[in-house]
Copies of this chain bind each other. A is one copy, B any other.
Amino acid sequence: MASGSYSPDQPSKEAFRAALAASCSGTAFADRLVSLGRYQRLNKGLALAGDADHDRLVFLAAGAAKLVARSPAMLLTGQSRAGLVTNMQVLAFHFAGDMICVLREGNADFRLIALADCELLAFPTERFLDTAQTEPAVLRWVLAHNLQALHRSRTRMMQMGHKSARQRIADFLVSMAERLGDCSTEACRLLLPMSRRDIGESLGLTIETVSRQFTELREAGLIATEGRSLVQLLDLPGLVRVAGHVPATRTVQLI
Question: What is A's interface to B at a CB cutoff of 8 Å?
Answer: 55, 69, 71-74, 76-77, 79-81, 85-87, 89, 91-92, 101, 103, 108, 129, 132-134, 136-137, 139-140, 142-143, 146-147, 149-151, 153-158, 160-162, 201, 203-204, 244-246, 251-255
Chain B residues, CB < 8 A from A140: 129, 133, 139
Apart from A73-B244, A103-B151, A156-B157: 11 A-B pairs, beta carbons within 8 A: A73-B246, A74-B246, A76-B252, A79-B255, A91-B157, A91-B158, A103-B147, A129-B140, A129-B143, A146-B147, A161-B201
Q: Is the CB of A147 within 8 A of B201?
A: no
Q: Is the CB of A251 within 8 A of B74?
A: yes
Q: Is the CB of B146 within 8 A of A73?
A: no
- CB-CB under 8 A for A162 and B101, given A71-B244, A139-B136: no
User: In the complex the two chains form, what is the Cα distance from A80 to B253 in whole Å?
Assistant: 11
Chain B residues, CB < 8 A from A157: 89, 91, 153, 156-157, 160
Q: Is the CB of B101 within 8 A of A244?
A: no
Chain B residues, CB < 8 A from A108: 155, 158
- CB-CB under 8 A for A154 and B69, given A136-B133, A254-B77: yes
Q: Is the CB of B146 within 8 A of A150?
A: yes
Q: How far is the CB of A127 from chain B (nearest CB, A)?
A: 13
User: In the complex the two chains form, what is the Cα distance from A87 to B254 in whole Å?
Assistant: 14
User: In the complex the two chains form, what is the Cα distance from A251 to B76 in whole Å?
Assistant: 10
Chain B residues, CB < 8 A from A161: 89, 160, 201, 203-204
User: In the complex the two chains form, what is the Cα distance from A142 to B144 in whole Å?
Assistant: 11
Chain B residues, CB < 8 A from A134: 136
Chain B residues, CB < 8 A from A55: 147
User: In the complex the two chains form, what is the Cα distance from A69 to B154 in whole Å?
Assistant: 9
User: In the complex the two chains form, what is the Cα distance from A244 to B76 in whole Å?
Assistant: 11
- CB-CB under 8 A for A158 and B89, given A73-B245, A146-B150, A153-B153: yes
